[in-house]
Structure 1
Amino acid sequence: MSITRTPKILVVDDDHSMRQLLVEYLAGHGIAADSAVDGTEAIAAVQNKAYDLVLLDLGLPDVDGVELARRWRQETTMSIICVTGRNEEADMVMGLELGADDYITKPFSLREVLARMRAVLRRAAGQGAPTPVTRSKHPRAYEFAGWSLNLNTRRLTSPDKGEVSLTNAEFNLLVVFLSAPGRIISREKLLESTRSFDDIYDRAIDVQILRLRRKLEADPKNPTLLRTERGAGYYLDTDSDALWG
Structure 2
Amino acid sequence: MPELPEIETSRRGIEPYMVGHHIVKAVVRQPKLRWPVSGQIIALENAPVISVQRRAKYLLIELPDGWIIGHLGMSGSVRILPEFIEPGKHDHVDFILSTGQVLRYTDPRRFGAWLWEEDLETSHVLKHLGPEPLGDEFSGEYLFIRSRAKKTLIKPWLMDNKLVVGVGNIYASESLFEAKILPQRPAGSLTESEAQRLVLTIKKVLQRSIEQGGTTLKDFLQADGKPGYFAQELQVYGRSGEPCKICGTLIESEKHGQRTTFFCRHCQS
Q: TM-score, normalised by structure 2?
A: 0.29
Higher RCO (Cα < 8 Å, 6 or more apart): 2
Q: TM-score, normalised by structure 1?
A: 0.31
Normalized per residue, which structure has more helix? 1
